[in-house]
Structure formats: C-alpha cells, structure tokens
C-alpha cells in the first residue's frame, strides 16, 4: 500500500518537475504580492516597526499563494480522462487523496523555502530579528499541513464547479481562519521574540496542531464523497 502511495506521489511530483506550471505560477504570484507589499509599505515613517506586522504579511502572502497552487491540484487529471482512470485503478481512493495532499504540502514547503528568505531580504534586513526566529519553521509546517489538507478536499469540490478559482477562495479562507490566526500569533511571537509573547507561542502552536488533527480527520472521513467521477 505504501509503495502504491509513493508511486502516486512520484507521478504528481514528476508531472510537476516536467511541466513546472504549479510552482512557477505560485512563485511569480508570490513575487507580485511582495511587490504590492513594497508599494503598500512605501509611505511608512522611519520609526515604523515592520516586525509588528511582518508575521501577518507573511501569512497573507502564503494564503493567497497557496490558493494558486491548490487550484491546480487536479488540473492534470482533466486530460484524457486521467481522473477516471485514477479512480478505477485497483487501490483505495484514500491514496489518491493522500498523495494529492502530500504533493500540495511539498509545493508549499518548496515555495516557502524561496519566499520566506525573499521576504526577509525585501522587508526585514534593517530590523533586528530575535534569535528565536528559527522557530518560525514550526508554525510554517503546521500551517502547511492544514492548508494542504483542507485545500485538497475543497479543490476536489471546486474543480467541478462553474467558477472554480474564486469558489476555492470563498470556501477555503473562512475554513482555515482559526489556523491562520494561530499561525500568525505563533509567528509574531518568534519574530518579535519578547518573553511574554513566547508564552503564547506554544499555546498557538498547540491550537494549530489540534486544528490540523481535527480538520485532517474530518477531511479524511469526507474525501470519498467528493472524489467520485
């Protein structure tokens, strides 16, 4: 079963490695959002503390960019009835859902590997970051798991709709909002790094983790009702 899962995941990654459509469009979109941030922050005063808002800006960037990738989750499967073949193949449908989820998770991680340093390079070079900023990895990973989990389920719903792209945003953003709030507060804690905020860091990560657990369980229970031809 695990080899079948790996084969499915390999198929998705290989398709992406050859076409590079998802990652390239996500990356360009992220660059555009960063440019917009540049304009939005261009008129701020000298004593403006960018650290206060940087965690929120970073997560806004991640949520918007994830929508681009999630929308393309099933874009390859439309060709030549690939989705039908995938669902007829002799393995459990849960593997299709899990492999898509993992692929989306990997795309998000790859994107952040490029975008988070870019964010630092553009906006945070002059500010003094706290030492704990390395811990940012934890909320980023927790956020990616939740976005990929709920997003994959919703993407399989919206791919059959009349207005797929915008519908995914309408459904996804309210659903992941608790996760977003937890991730923003956890990230703010490590970026600003004051002692009182650090207390909230573990609690926010705990909330994000329990959100991930509940939503992944719910998505896993419900995927079979949406993954049908």
Partner 1 sequence: MKTKLLSSNKLVLAVVCIALLLILLDIFMAFFISPLVRGARLSEPVIIVGQMVANKLLFSQKIFYLHVPVALSSFIALLFTAVFSIRYLIKRDPLDDMRAYSCTEIALVFVLATMASGILWTRFEWGSWWVWEPRLTTYFILTLMVLAYFVLRLNIEDADREASFAAVFGILAFINVPISFFVTRIVPSSIHPVIFRTDSGLSSSMLIPFIAGMIGCLLLSFVLYKLRISLKKSDFELQQVKEEFESLYKKRLKEKRVVGDK
Give the residues lining the site for partner 1 (CB under 8 A).
Answer: 150, 153-154, 157, 160-163, 167, 170-171, 173-175, 177-178, 181, 214-215, 218-219, 222, 225-226
Nearer to partner 1, 28 or 170 (CB): 170
Q: In angstroms, give the least distance from the CB of 62 to partner 1.
A: 18
**Pick 10 or 203: Cβ nearer partner 1:** 203
Nearest CA-CA partner of 75 in 23, 124, 142: 23
Least Cβ distance, residue 225 to partner 1 (angstroms): 5
Nearer to partner 1, 27 or 70 (CB): 70
d(CA 209, CA 200): 14
Between 30 and 143, CB nearer to partner 1: 143
Query: How many residues are recorded in the chain?
Result: 229
Task: CB nearer to partner 1: give 35 or 161.
Answer: 161
Smallest distance, Å, CB 9 to partner 1? Answer: 24
> How far apart are the C-alpha atoms of 27 and 32, rounded to whole Å?
9
Cβ distance to partner 1 smaller for residue 59 or 119:
59
> What is the distance, to the nearest Å, from the Cα of residue 104 to the centroid of all Cα atoms in its chain?
8
Shortest spacing between CB 57 and partner 1, in angstroms: 16
The DSSP-derived string for the chain is -HHHHHHHHHHHHHHHHHH-HHHHHHHHHHHHHHHHHHHHTTT--TT--HHHHHHHHHHHHHHHHHHHHHHTTTTGGGGGGHHHHHHHSSS-HHHHHHHHHHHHHHHHHHHHHHHHHHHIIIIITTS---GGGGGGHHHHHHHHHHHHHHHHHHHHHHTTSTTHHHHHHHHHHHHTHHHHHHHHHHHHHHHH--HHHHHHHHHHHHHHHHHHHHHHHHHHHHHHHHS--
Residue 104 or 185 with smaller CB distance to partner 1? 185
Query: Min. distance of Cβ 177 from partner 1 in angstroms?
Result: 5
Closest distance to partner 1 from the beta carbon of 214 (Å): 6
Closest distance between partner 1 and the C-beta of residue 83, in Å? 14
């Amino acid at each position: 079963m695990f080899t079948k899962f790996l084969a499915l995941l390999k198929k998705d990654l290989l398709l992406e490695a050859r076409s590079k459509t998802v990652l390239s469009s996500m990356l360009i979109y992220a660059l555009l959002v960063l440019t917009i941030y540049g304009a939005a922050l261009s008129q701020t005063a000298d004593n403006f503390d960018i650290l206060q808002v940087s965690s929120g800006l970073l997560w806004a960037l991640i949520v918007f960019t994830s929508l681009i990738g999630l929308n393309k989750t099933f874009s390859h499967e439309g060709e030549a009835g690939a989705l039908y073949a995938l669902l007829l193949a002799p393995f459990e449908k849960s593997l299709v859902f899990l492999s898509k989820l993992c692929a989306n998770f990997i795309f998000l991680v790859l994107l952040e590997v490029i975008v988070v340093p870019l964010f630092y390079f553009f906006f945070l070079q002059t500010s003094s970051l706290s030492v704990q900023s390395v811990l940012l990895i934890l909320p980023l990973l927790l956020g990616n798991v939740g976005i990929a989990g709920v997003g994959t389920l919703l993407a399989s719903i919206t791919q059959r709709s009349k207005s797929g792209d915008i519908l995914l945003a309408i459904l996804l953003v309210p659903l992941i909002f608790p996760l977003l709030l937890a991730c923003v507060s956890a990230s703010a804690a490590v970026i600003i790094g004051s002692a009182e905020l650090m207390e909230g860091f573990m609690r926010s990560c705990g909330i994000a983790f329990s959100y991930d657990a509940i939503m992944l369980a719910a998505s896993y229970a419900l995927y079979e009702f949406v993954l049908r031809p």
